[in-house]
A = this chain, B = another copy of it.
Amino acid sequence: MGPMFAPLQNDTFLRACWRQATDHTPVWLMRQAGRYLPEYCATRAKAGSFMGLATNVDYATEVTLQPLDRYPLDAAILFSDILTVPDAMGLGLSFAQGEGPKFAKVVRDEAAVAELAVPDMDKLRYVFDAVTSIRRALNGRVPLIGFSGSPWTLACYMVEGGGSDDYRLVKSLMYSRPDLMHRILAVNADAVALYLNTQIEAGAQAVMVFDSWGGVLADGAFQEFSLAYTARVLAQLKREHAGVKIPRIVFTKGGGLWLKEMATLDCEVLGLDWTVNLGHARALVGGQTGGQGKALQGNIDPNVLFAPPAQIELQVKRVLDSFGVPHTDATQSGPTHIFNLGHGISQFTPPEHVKALVEAVHTHSKALRYKR
């Protein structure tokens, strides 16, 4: 059965996921709980380390809710990391101060690949407990999004051992031994699907797959090594839980060239980065009122947040206008837009600028609807 939760008070985000009319464009921000918030830094200091923060249910709950107390955001997203699954596979994830993720063990040869298996979900219990705790703490304010890295993105880190600027090791393996890469990706896909399904059982009301590094692949390789395994995840996901349908979001950074192919994915929402023209994306995959299609999520450049509020407002308008007027017919589904950044928020962002952005989205997206 799973836990019982308070009824949802703001369903704007979920309605937009299902391409239903809303009175404003819902907004949330990738990495909205993060280092740009002083209250986040305070909690993180108490926790001692990033993993100390992510693995502690109370801290994870606390930081997930922090941005909601500052801004009228329309969704919450689980505070966690995209690399928890390979950590549970035994690769030993850590974050050195001021640096990116690092794995103690890397997967670069046949022997290391042979050892890989879908991890016991008990090792990720801290994540599922956090989901339930956050959902309770939200008390129905806004929906909670669960997430995971995509099979390809996880593979990048598992082979490279951390971040990379040329993806030399993971691509060397891919081009030299595609058989080994396919085996890594198959294990990752099954692990990610189980991980997301368990998040859904714990209380996640939507799930998102972050294909952060799909865009570094060549045409052809993207379809074979990233898209196919995202599809394998989606095929295994629960369609509903406790009588409520669970929308699925896929975000491929740098994936704008493959939008038509991503339209075939069995998911409800496609996330877009700032290089994509939302009007063009809507024409390609957004569908018509009454027809099939995908909701679109994105896509302002996070660096806009370094400009003064008047410039932020101007850029927010440009992004809303590029999507155009969302459909407003309450009797049927149609093209919808979920406002977000095109990538995670920078740690250097002034918090008061985020307020200007969120307010501009609400104000102008309402005006856009009434202007007609």
Contact = CB atoms under 8 A, between A and B. Distances in A.
B221 A172 contact: no
B166 A303 contact: yes
A175 B254 CA distance: 21
B166 A346 contact: yes
A124 to B, nearest CB: 29
A219 B274 contact: yes
Given A311-B176, A322-B220, A171 B303 contact: yes
Interface string A286-305: 00000000000001110110
B219 A303 contact: no
A221 B319 CA distance: 12
B176 A275 contact: no
A69 interface: no
A324 to B, nearest CB: 14
Stoichiometry, copies per complex: 2
A123 interface: no
A214 to B, nearest CB: 10
A222 interface: yes
Given A165-B165, A315-B175, A322-B219, A275 B303 contact: no
A257 interface: yes
A274 B306 contact: no
18 contacts: A168-B303, A172-B303, A172-B307, A175-B301, A175-B303, A175-B306, A175-B307, A175-B311, A176-B311, A215-B275, A217-B274, A217-B275, A217-B301, A218-B299, A218-B342, A219-B275, A221-B301, A257-B275
Given A218-B274, A219-B276, 15 more contacts: A168-B348, A171-B301, A171-B303, A175-B304, A175-B311, A175-B315, A176-B308, A215-B275, A217-B274, A217-B275, A218-B342, A220-B322, A254-B275, A257-B276, A257-B277
